[in-house]
Amino acid sequence: PAFFGGIQKLDRGRLKMLIIVDKSSIETFVNDGEFTMTNLVFAEEGSRDWQIFSRGGKVKVVSVNISEW
């Protein structure tokens, strides 16, 4: 199966993701830039929640680091 529109080779079934969120956009870098994606977001004022989910499979989050720049 394809992951993120074409990533086929996974290191032990894992994806490495860097997700950068600011006031109006989310940028995602998978496996050190093998796949990238940018989305505009229009969150409600004061919103600070986030979710990780999967369609058609399971997700196990191994680690999360959150930094404010």
Nearest to 2 by CA among 59, 56, 62, 64: 56
7-52 confidence digits (pLDDT tens): 666 777 788 889 898 888 889 898 888 888 899 988 888 887 878 8
Q: How far is CA 60 from the centre of its chain?
A: 13
Query: Which of the two residues, 54 and 6, has the higher pLDDT score?
Result: 54
Q: Contact at 8 Å (CB) between 51 and 40?
A: no
Q: How far apart are CA 25 and CA 20, in angstroms?
A: 8
